[in-house]
Structures are given as structure tokens and as C-alpha cells.
Chain A
């Protein structure tokens, strides 16, 4: 919604600028007038929208896309997120979402299937008992929220890179897209999906994931901001087009690497 700023009644902006310019020496006066005329016109026409509105956000998203490329360049597939001792785990580990805890998805374990799709050889859906049998890795890493706060947690599950190999995924594809039970979604870049600490997480602190922590599957990515770690994951697609994501589509930076 564009908001219009009305000029002050009884004040002619052009005369106001002329008065101000009288205080300056001749050459700078001309320069000042030229600059002020265009600046003033901009301000009167669009008010605060230039600074605070959707117009500026759209322009800034171009730079945000450039920042995605910079971050992909900075991302080193061999750089590991720092790991911490068990004593440093944040207890209780916070629940965080755009809805309250009792609104979180309540997934039926017996009926649950992890759907697989896209550029994958074996698209057979996975039941939870099948997933629990896969080799387990563990990490104690820092979850960093886009808001600025952070918390250290302990996660166990399957290395996502191993899982992708197991299902015969095309590892040269560009993206992996995740769909969640409540409608949340995320797309991540393949280099991040193949990072040694990126995990298809089934447990928190060696217990089957609680509902609050994303039961039955969370994708734990310690090299990305928290909102890029989807919970309640129900489907995974390997693809070459960017499927976007819940927050990314609203303006959070797409790559959001740490």
C-alpha cells in the first residue's frame, strides 16, 4: 500500500530550497539546488515509501540474490561448524516457529511415510522403522536463529549425503527441496546438502524427536540459519529448479549460510 506524504500547507518546497541555497557561496549553490530539486521531488512524490516500503524491498532483494552468490562462494564444503561438549547444551532447548507449540504438527508415526521425488533412482517412500535402522551420526552444534539468538543442541540421525547416495539421487542436481507437515518448505543448495554435518535428524539428545523439535524428521544444517533447518519433514525432492521456501519467499535471504 503506497502511503502519500502531504507537503506542509502554506510552504512551497521550491521556495524553501531557494532560501536555504542563499546561504551558500555561488558554485556550491548551483550544485545544491540541482541536487535538492531532484531529492525534494523524490521525497514529495513518494514520502517514506522510498525508505520503508515494498518498492525498496524489491530493489534490495536484487542485492540479496547477489549475496546468495557471495555466500555460495564463501561456503567451504570442508569447513565444519564448531562442536561443543554435552555440558554446554542449552536446556531446555527452545521451541521456535511462526506458530505456538500446541499448534505444531502432530504426525502419526504409524501412517508416516517420507516421500522421495525428483532426480532420484529409488522413489520408494520410507517408513520410520526403516529410517531408524540406518547408520547414526551425532553432533552437538549451535543453532543460530535469524533473529540473533542461538542455542546449542544435540542431534542424531543419518548423514544426508549418505541418504542421498542410498536413494540414488543425482548429486549433480542443484537443489534439494523439503516439504513439511504444516505446509512449511525449504530449498537448499546441493553443496550444503552434501556437507558432512548436514543431517537427516531423527533424535534430539539421543531421544526420538519430540513433537516440539520436529517429529518425525528435522533436517539439521549447522552451516545455515535456523529457519533453513526444516522440521516435520514429509517429502524430499532432488531437483534443478529452486522451490523457494516459507520465509525465503517473504524476503529472508535465500542462502542464509553461517
Chain B
């Protein structure tokens, strides 16, 4: 991106007129989700510190909300952003057929092949509109993790009103561990996702301007 772009807009005819890789609603919901996730994770770390599940705490400098009460205010405000935006994204993903076209089918043999190619640094990124098999698997996986983190969160928030859901997650205490594990999965995904976006900058541009 930088090499092309510093030369000026005149050298970018292909990107200006090329096919749209990410329609506007994908880009908008992607960045709203990015913000909501950061707010939920940051405040969630502060909440975790009030009663740690494991033998460590998150440093206050990277946690959001100053104190437990402030973090809870953030967490239960950002949840609306996360859930409403997530519902819009999933609804449009299903209705427009984007999920079906982009994420399926996922064949185990292709996943293995693409994973090995990626590790050898030989995975092609010529056509960003097509996801490779590893991407398909990870994007589907992170979608499902999103569902798990919301449902386990609801079962911690409302263990009486939603007690059936809470017992589905193994009860109140176990649901806290599930919620934590889902957060860990999302943070791990985030690290890989951002690293790869930096390694392939045109994929970042596509998520901003669409092409």
C-alpha cells in the first residue's frame, strides 16, 4: 500500500475502479465491532481483576474504567454496541448470502494445504475477494466464539432470569471460565488478525475503502 500510495493517486487506477471486496456494511460493522471489542476486553480485564480466576491480574494501565464500578459501566454500555452491531452483521451476512459465498465450503484437506503454504510464506494474496481455507475456518470460528462470549456473558449477568442458559454453561462459576476462555480466543485471534493485516497492507486498505 505505502509504495503505491506515496507515488500519488494517479498510479492507483486499478484500485479505484477495481471490484468491491468488502461492501460498505461489512466495513462499517467491522470497525464498530473493533471498537466494541476493545471496550469490552479492556473493561472485562478490569472486572476480572476484582476477583481473578487465575493466579494473575491484568495491569491497570491496559485495563479500562479506573475501578470496578467504572469498568462495569463501560462493559454494560459497550455490550449494546457489540450485540446490536453483531446482530446487524450476522443478519446481513445471511440475507445477502455473503457468509455462504465467502465461508463455505470448508474442506479439511484445503485447510491443511493452505495452512502449510501459509507457514512456508507461500500463500497467495492476489485475489482478496476469495478467502483461503484457513481464513474461512478462522472467520467462522471467531463468529461462533462471538456467539459463545455473548451467551456466556448473559448467563453470568442474569444467572437467575436466564438460569437455563447458565446451567447450559455448567452453572455460574463455570460460565465465568467459559467467558474468560472465549475472551482469550478472541484476543489470540486479534493478535494474529492484526499481524497478518499489517503483513498484507492491501487487505487493511480493502477494509477501509472497500477495494
Q: Given A23-B2, A24-B5, A146–B15 Cβ distance below 8 Å?
A: no
Once the chains bind, are B158 and A63 in contact (CB under 8 Å)? no
With A23-B6, A26-B9, A148-B47 as known contacts, state yes or no: A60 contacts B160, CB within 8 Å.
no
- Contact, CB under 8 Å: A222 / B51: no
| Residue from A23, A61, A76, A258 within 8 A of B159 (CB atoms) | A258
A25 to B12, Cβ gap below 8 A?
yes
Chain A residues, CB < 8 A from B161: 74-76, 79, 223, 257-258
CB distance from A16 to the nearest CB of B (A): 16
The answer to whether B184 has its CB under 8 Å from any CB of chain A is no
Nearest CB of B to A23, in Å: 5
Give the interface residue-count category, chain A. Answer: 35 or more
- Report the bound CA distance from A149 to B50 in whole Å: 9
Q: Min CB distance, A28 to chain B, in Å?
A: 5
Q: Is B172 an interface residue (CB 8 A)?
A: yes
Instruction: For residue A10, give the distance in angstroms from its CB to the closest CB of chain B.
Output: 24
Say whether B158 contacts A257, CB under 8 Å. yes
- Determine if A148 and B176 form an interchain contact, defined as CB atoms under 8 angstroms apart: yes
Q: Is A208 an interface residue (CB 8 A)?
A: no
Q: Which residue of B lies closest to A250 (CB)?
A: B69
From the candidates B9, B76, B158, B163, name the one contacting A82 in the complex (CB within 8 A): B163
Check if A184 is an interface residue, CB within 8 A of chain B.
Answer: no
Residue of B nearest to A223 (CB): B160
Instruction: Kindly state the separation between the CA atoms of A73 and B159 in the bound complex, as whole angstroms.
Output: 16
- Taking the closest CB of chain A, its distance from the CB of B129, in whole angstroms, is 19
Compute how far the CA of A157 lies from the CA of B66 in the bound complex, rounded to whole angstroms: 39
> Assuming the A-B contacts A147-B51, A147-B68, are A258 and B9 also in contact, with contact meaning beta carbons closer than 8 angstroms in the complex?
no
Query: In this assembly, does A252 line the interface, its C-beta being within 8 Å of a C-beta of chain B?
Result: yes
Q: Which of A22, A28, A51, A60 has the most CB of B within 10 A?
A: A60
* Number of B interface residues in the complex (CB < 8 A): 36
Is the CB–CB distance between A82 and B1 below 8 Å?
no
Q: Determine if B144 is an interface residue (Cβ-Cβ < 8 Å).
A: no
Q: How far is the CA of A52 from the CA of B64 in the complex (A)?
A: 7
A252 in contact with B5 (CB, 8 Å): no
A231 interface hit (Cβ, 8 Å): no
Question: Does A251 sit at the interface, judged by CB under 8 A?
Answer: yes
Report yes or no: B158 in contact with A150, Cβ–Cβ below 8 A.
no
Cβ–Cβ contact B47 & A142, under 8 A: no
Choose from B6, B47, B70, B176 the contact partner of A57 (Cβ within 8 Å). B70
What B residues does A52 contact at CB under 8 A? 64-66, 70
Cβ proximity bits A22-48 to B, threshold 8 Å, 1 near / 0 not: 111111100000000000000000000
Q: Is B6 in contact with A22, judged by CB distance below 8 angstroms?
A: yes
Instruction: List the A residue with the shortest CB-CB distance to B3.
Output: A23
Would you give the 0/1 interface string for A74-117, flagging 1 where the beta carbon is closer than 8 Å to chain B?
Answer: 11100111100000000000000000000000000000000000
Q: In the complex, how many angstroms separate the beta carbon of B154 from the nearest chain A beta carbon?
A: 10
CB distance from B193 to the nearest CB of A (A): 21
Known contacts A57-B73, A60-B73, A79-B161, then 13 further A-B pairs from the complex at CB < 8 Å, ordered by chain A residue:
A25-B9, A56-B74, A60-B77, A64-B73, A64-B77, A79-B163, A144-B159, A145-B51, A146-B50, A147-B51, A148-B47, A253-B72, A258-B159
4 shortest interchain CB distances as A-B pairs: A251-B69, A60-B73, A147-B50, A148-B51
Interface residues, chain A, with chain B CB atoms under 8 Å away: 22-28, 51-53, 56-57, 60-61, 63-64, 67, 74-76, 79-82, 142, 144-150, 222-223, 247, 250-253, 257-258
A sample of 6 inter-chain contacts (CB < 8 A) reads A52-B64, A75-B161, A147-B68, A150-B172, A222-B160, A247-B69
